[in-house]
Amino acid sequence: MFPRLAPRLFARCPRTPARVQWYLRPLLALIGLLLLLPSLRAQASEVVRLSNSEWPPYFSETQKHDGIGSHIVSEAFALEGVRVEYQFFPARRALELAKNGTFDGTVGWELNEERSRYLIASDVVWESPWVFFHRVTTPFDWSDLASLRYHRIGGTVGYMYTPEFREAETAGIVTLDRGPSDDVGFRKLLAGRFELFPQLREVGYYQIRQLFSPQQQRLFTHHEKPFGSHRDQLLIYRHHPRSQALIDAFNRGLAKLRDSGQLERYFDALARGEYNLEPNH
């Protein structure tokens, strides 16, 4: 088509370059579009759909970029040409939707033996200690999990905390009064319904600031000794046709963020409150 069309255009106006340019403009635009289509199709294919859940300040629709954890995952993938789409669900459903392949993967979890049957994991994105929160008026010290036997401890349904903690609970060494949410747990802790409430240190203080007045916030503290740590990872559906390729791409992007100092700057921004949305946003 094009070889026959071009001579005809030039033949009609051999001495009027401006008219030739006018005739050729749609043709050149069409050629450019045809050349672009393969790259547009390639770009459209580089999308990963991840289930997410509310766990502020790391993951939340109420935070800029859906929270710092979501931001890190998005930016690490972006450095490798992959775009992320999030959809939020209750935590247990978010995990199940990744385990059954409805979504390509999920964020905000740590791989364990049971999850490894369905999912593969990235390098560790960030790490935070599990600690026991208590009221400042309740003296508390502990040495090992066995020393917690006679303490009243709260908890949240669906949380394993750490494998060692779960084993201690299963063996009856510790007993947890589990509630439906962390918010309920902290309110019960303030009311004296139990002595201790386990939570990630940064998450716990964020939740306390959101739930209570400044005067009430001063009633909480935590024991400095952690009983474990959460090592946050991106989890991808094991049977996804590009599961390992996605993990490799993410790990490369994450390494770039870490090596450039950008990852540290994200956490500095979190400490300054820059992930908080303005009211009415």
pLDDT digits (tens, 9 = 90+) for 22-55: 455 555 555 554 454 444 444 445 899 999 999 8
- Residue 30, burial from CB neighbour count under 10 angstroms (0-12, 13-18, 19+): exposed
pLDDT attached to residue 1 = 43
- Among 28-37, 62-71, 175-184, which is the least confidently predicted range? 28-37
Which residue(s) pair with 103 in the sheet? none
Note the pTM of the prediction, 2 decimals.
Answer: 0.74
Q: DSSP states of 160-196 as a string?
A: ---HHHHHHHHTTSS-EEEESSHHHHHHHHHHTS-SB
Which is it for the CA torsion 143, 157, 206, 60, positive or negative? Answer: positive
Report the share of the chain in percent with pLDDT over 70.
83
Q: Set out the domains of the chain in order of their start, with CATH numbers.
A: 47-126+230-271 (3.40.190.10), 128-228 (3.40.190.10)
pLDDT attached to residue 280 = 45
The C-alpha atoms of residue 61 and residue 79 are separated, in whole angstroms, by 23
pLDDT attached to residue 42 = 42
Q: What pLDDT band is residue 240 in, cutting at 50, 70 and 90?
A: very high
